[in-house]
Amino acid sequence: MKKLVFSIVCLLTATIVSAKDIQRVACLGNSITKGSWLVKPQRDAYPAVLQQYLGAGYEVDNWGLSAARATQTAKTAYIKSDICRQALESQPQIVTILLGTDDSRKPYQGEFDSFKPGLIQLVKQCQALPTHPKVYLLTPPAIHSVAWDNDSAFLQSHIVPAVKTVAAETGATVIDLNAITQSLGRYYPDGIHPDVNGAGRLAAAIYTGITGKSKQYKRPLSLPTIFTDHAVLQQQSDAAIWGWGAAGQKVTVKPSWSKAVTTTADADGNWRVRIPTRQAGYTKYSIHISQGSQRLELHDILFGEVWFAAGQSNMQMELGGYYSTAVDGGPEAIANSTCEYLRFYRVPHKDCARPLDDVNIPGWEVSGPAAAVHFSATAFFFARQLQRVLNIPVGVIQSAYGGASINSFMTPDVVHQYSYIKDPDYKDMYIPKYWETYTWAKHTPTVVYNAMVRPVQGYNIKGAIWYQGEDDRRHPDLYPKMFESWLRDYQTKWQCGKWPIYYAQIAPYDYNDQTAAPFRECQEKMENPAEGKYMICLMDNGLEKNIHPSDKPTVGFRFAQRVLDKTYGITGINSTYPHFKSLETRAKDGKIILHFTGMDDGVAKKPYKFEGFQVSDNSKQFYNVKEAKGEGATIVLTPPDGVKPVAVRYCWKDYQKGTVYNMRGLPLSSFRTDQWNDVK
């Protein structure tokens, strides 16, 4: 007992002494310090990496502030900021200061005379702290572009020498980051801010400057968040798994169900392997990844069906409600959402001018109220139906951005194909440079793809559901071409076969510009089962004054119904929609008979009359029909007195709910038999 008490006292004493011996390091600086351009600055910004290098005897704090300047008179003077005050109040024993990049910008060069005095004052304030910290002045990394009017020549001729002069005058120590980054432009995507490899090299140089010990940067073994516990891998596929690690070193991926696969990380630390997956089931597996002494483990991995759910706000609309609109059946669905074999990966809502390789979320989630409430309502109802019918695990990756036009989802390769387009709806198909600011992100080429698709592209999927088009409706002639180019490019870059896509036709809504019906027509013509392109019709799903219909259970079910029929071939499920085929005028009474495909079992008799039919003679003036009546698999129209119809239209408006269904309860799309654009 005495030995135990003595051991506890010793342990507590050691802990207290250890705490006293910890050296607090304050990293003061600008957006480079903050890691503003890194997906996970808390892990990858140079202060975070420096913490890893220095170890348990140090506590490194990141006090970076975007756009911060040393110049005292600047609005963004670091010394005047709350961040600076908090950094000094932390009472550090070591201070690193990285300022000057923003002071080199052309608009600020006239204030250079205030740069040195401002930096001197900041150094002296640090040195005057009760802890008397040792101060390290970091020369700004080399500039590799003209982003934000930064001036490489001015940085080299004025800022860097000034930093070294301040160090000599104040007794601070210089760590010359500028010198070591002259040839590392490839690690600075916008020419200013380092990527993970660039930040790691800065940390290694700072570590050497502080400790005197040599340090060669080796990227830590890591995975993107698409690979976490609870992931669903596409069954019976060669599933891609990728990540990062130390350049030139072997990486071993060992699944619990098959033999290990080994590869070597490339010069930038990237690695990728493929592992065979088994038939779907409820057995849980694990994956072990190693490089040298580093180990990563993934647990609770299932094999099943994985679907990509993308689009704009109607796909983004959460099960818990969206834009003051509650989802029909949402509260009940949330309460009953617990299902161990239904799993979600929700890409955060984000846009970016540069391509990202990861997103900052925990990873895959098992379905339950906490996960389901914020997941896409459409994707939830779709996935739940699939899981119930297939009786295997189902995973869905959600990537939706409200108001996004299709060009924002495109890769640069596709955007370049349409560089001839000069239209404000598509921002003239101009791809912003990495450092350029842009407005109206949802219509800016590539920016949604960069942030919300590229990080997950390559993860093996069975197919995709797509709920998008409202913001492209003014371009019914162009959209089908763009959709085709976009789809083929995605399928090629995904590298897991020519997967099918199921897309939703836009629902009726009062846009007040008469663009919806022509766009629905173009969407209907896009369907091509031979190429794996299938449409679901939502003519009965819209709301006149709300572009976000609340009936998402129907949308999700129709997606699932179509997929279960066309991709999985489930016997008894028939998802064929009715489509207009032809018309004829009955000689005996002048009535119009409409013929359809997809009406083999007849037109469904609903408890209300068929509405939305109009006819026109050669005057191009359309009139409501006197009567529309179902007869078997046809609909017979009685035209108004005195009108000899040559054209028929059905629901040819921005908003008019469909009233015609086949016997499977699937609605008829709006249509026209003419191609007139000059109707009266």
- CA 444 vs. chain centroid, Å, equals 14
| CA-based nearest residue to 224, from 459, 405, 534 | 459
The pLDDT, as a whole number, for residue 146 is 86
DSSP state of 22: P
Q: Tell me which DSSP letter residue 442 carries.
A: G
pLDDT value of position 14: 40
> Residues 158, 161, 162, CA angle at the centre, nearest 5°?
75
- pLDDT of 147 over the 90 cut: no
41/227 Cα distance (integer angstroms): 19
- Per residue in 193-204, pLDDT (tens digit) is 999 999 999 999
Query: What does the pLDDT read at residue 293?
Result: 96
Half-sphere exposure of 1 (CA within 13 A, CB side): 0
Query: Which pLDDT tens digit goes with each residue over 508-520?
Result: 999 999 999 999 9
Quick one: 116 exposed, middle or buried, by C-beta within 10 A (0-12, 13-18, 19+)?
buried
Domain 18-211 and domain 232-304 have a common topology:
no
User: Of 3.30.70, 2.40.50, 2.60.40, 3.40.50, which CATH number belongs to 308-459+472-504+521-536+546-566?
Assistant: 3.40.50
pLDDT at 437: 86
**Which tokens sit at 463?**
């197919």
Q: Is the pLDDT of residue 97 over 50?
A: yes
**Structure letter (DSSP) for residue 460:** -
Residue 390's Cβ-side half-sphere holds a number of Cα atoms within 13 Å equal to 29
- Classify domain 18-211 at the CATH superfamily level: SGNH hydrolase (3.40.50.1110)
Q: Please name the residue that has the structure tokens 């080199």.
A: 104
Q: What does the alpha-carbon distance between residue 72 and residue 122 come to, in Å, rounded to a whole number?
A: 9
Phi and psi for 283 in degrees, rounded to 5?
-70, 135
**Main-chain phi, psi angles of 537, to 5 degrees:** -95, 135
Which CATH architecture is the domain 232-304 placed in? Sandwich (2.60)
273 sits in the region (left: phi over 0; alpha: psi -120 to 50; else beta) called beta
Strand partners, 303: 233
Q: Where are the domains of the chain?
A: 18-211, 232-304, 308-459+472-504+521-536+546-566, 579-672
Report, as an integer, the average pLDDT of 146-156: 91
The answer to whether the beta carbons of residues 135 and 95 sit under 8 Å apart is yes
Residue 312 and residue 366 in contact, taking contact as beta carbons nearer than 8 Å: no
pLDDT of 9 higher than 50: no
**What backbone torsions phi and psi does residue 628 show, to the nearest 5 degrees?**
-125, 120
CA angle 160/165/171 to nearest 5° reads 125
User: Cβ(655)–Cβ(679) under 8 Å?
Assistant: no
What are the residues whose beta carbons fall under 8 Å from the beta carbon of 476, sequence distance 6 or more? 515, 518, 519, 521, 522
In the predicted structure, residue 10 carries a pLDDT above the cut 60:
no
Q: Per-residue pLDDT averaged across 414-421, rounded?
A: 95
pLDDT value of position 679: 86
Q: Which residues contact 340 (CB under 8 A, 6 or more apart)?
A: 366, 367
